[in-house]
Amino acid sequence: MAEVKQFALPDVGEGLTEAEIVTWHVKPGDTVAINDTLVEVETAKSLVELPSPYAGVIATLHAAEGDTIEVGTVMVSFGSDVFDGKDAPKDPAPEAAPAKKPPVPEKTVSPGVTSQPDDEPGEERQSVLVGYGPTRATVARRPRKPGYTPPKLCGVSAPSSARPHATPPVRTRAKNLGIDLATITPTGPEGRITHRDLDAALATFTAEEATGVPSEARIPIKGVRKVTAEAMVASAFTAPHVTEWVTVDVTETLVLLDRLRNSREFKNARLTPLVLIVRAALSALHAHPDMNAKWDGEAGEIVQYRDVNLGVAAATPRGLLVPNIKKAQELGTRELCDRLDELIRTARAGKTTPEEMARGTFTITNIGVFGVDGGTPILNPGEAGILCVGQIARRPWEYQGEVALRSICTLSLSFDHRLVDGQLGSEVLGHIARLLEQPALALAR
C-alpha cells in the first residue's frame, strides 16, 4: 500500500507567493485520475486550474473556496491507495472502479467590446500549469456544505440545492458584490448566469429593499487589483512622469483601414484602428530606440531593450491586465491583427498566464472604447513610455483651407523623464501622429 500523498499549492509562475481558492472541482471521497482538475485558483495575475499529480481518492480538502493560502501550503490529502503513474495497477478489476459522476463542463467567457462582456459558449479550459498535460476527465463539483447560507444582497435569499451555472469571473464578481447566484434568473446559454444578469439584479435592488443591510459595500483588495495598485503607486512615486498630448486627424488612416478590410489578405480578420496605431507606434520605437528602455537605478544603468514586447491594456472582470506581444517588431500587420485579437480575447476570458504579462517594454492603452477623449496614463514598472489612445470622433476640423467634418483622435504619451527628455518624447509622439495623419508616409521609410 502506498503512503498517503499530499498536494501543496505550487508556484504557478513569476514568483507569486499566494493564491485564492476560487472553485474546488472535487470533494472528499471523489476518485480522480492523474491530470484531473482539482481546483481553480486565482493568483495576482491569472486564473489557473491545478491538475492532480496523483490518481486515487480525495481524503481531505484543507482550504475552502474564498480562502487565500501561501505557496507550499497543503491543499489536498489523498487516501492511501494512490499512484503517480509509475506504480499504476496494470489490470484493475472492473468492479473496483468507482462510478464516475457525469462531468459538469465549464465554458470560458467569450469577450465582447465592453469591460464586462456577456458569457458565450466556448471551449473547455485546459490545464496551464507547467509540467502537466491536459485534463483527461472532469470530476463532479463539490456540493454546498450542510447548513451553508450564501451571502445575501438587499435581504433577498432563495438558495437552491443545485449549483448555479456561471463562469469563474462571474462568480468572483457576484462574490465581491455580495450576490447569491441562487437568487439570479439566468439568461445565458444552457442556463448560465452572465454579467448582464448581475447588472439586472443590481438594478432591481432599491434602498427600501435594503432594510438591515449597510448602504456600502466592502470589497477585499486582492488579486489583480491589489498588485496593479501596488505597481502603480511604486511607478508614480519612483519615475518622474511627463505627459504630452497631440490631437490628430486620422481620416486617412480610417480610409486605409476600409481598404484593408476589403482585401484578400485581411479576409476574416478583426481589423480595428488599434492595429494601425500599433504599427505607427512600432515604427516610432524603431526610429527612436531610446524609448524602448528602462531605468535601472540599482545598477546605475539605462537598459535598452532589443525587442519590443508590446503591452496592450485590457479591461477584464478581474481588473486591468496588460499582456504583451513578444517581439512585436517582427510581425506583419496581419500577424499583429491576429495576435491583438487573441491577446484581448484571452485576457477577457480570464485565461492570461503570468508569462504573457512578463517582460513588457512599452504599453498602449485604448480608453477610446469607453468614449473618453484622453488621459494621463501611469507607466508600467520597467518601461519608459505608455501611449494612451482616445476615442475617434467626427468633428469640425480645418482641412485644405476649409472647415470640414473629419475623424479626430487625441493621443497622449507618458514617459519616464529620467531617461526620456522632452525632445525624445515629442519626437516619438510626433512620429506616431504623422503616420496616422498620412499613413502613406510609412512607404517612404
List the catalytic residues. Answer: 417
Asked whether the beta carbons of 321 and 345 are under 8 A apart, the reply is no
In angstroms, the CA 175 to CA 382 distance is 33
Residue 127, helix vs strand vs coil: coil
Residue 230 neighbours by CB distance under 10 Å: 13
Please give the Cα distance from 43 to 17 (Å, whole number): 9
Sheet with 37-42, edge to edge strand ranges: 47-51, 37-42, 18-24, 68-70
CA-to-CA distance for 386 and 311, rounded, in angstroms?
A: 9
Cα separation, 326 vs 102, whole angstroms: 40
Helix or strand (DSSP H, E) at 225: helix 223-236
Of all helices (H) and strands (E), which one includes residue 168? helix 168-177
Q: Give the C-alpha separation, 205 to 178, whole Å.
A: 12
Helix (H, G, I), strand (E, B) or coil at 417: coil
Taking CA atoms, 247 is separated from 37, 93, 312, 392, in Å, by 50, 74, 21, 10
Q: Residue 47: phi, psi to the nearest 5?
A: -90, 135
| Beta strand spans in 9-125 (E) | 18-24, 31-32, 37-42, 47-51, 56-61, 68-70, 74-78
Classify residue 217 by burial, with Cβ atoms within 10 Å: 0-12, 13-18, 19+: exposed
Going through 225-376 in order, the beta strands assigned E by DSSP cover 241-249, 293-296, 301-304, 310-312, 314-316, 319-321, 324-325, 362-366
With H, G, I as helix, E, B as strand and everything else as coil, classify residue 106: coil
Q: How far apart are CA 38 and CA 60, in angstroms?
A: 12
Quote the CA–CA distance of 98 and 103 in Å, as a whole number: 14
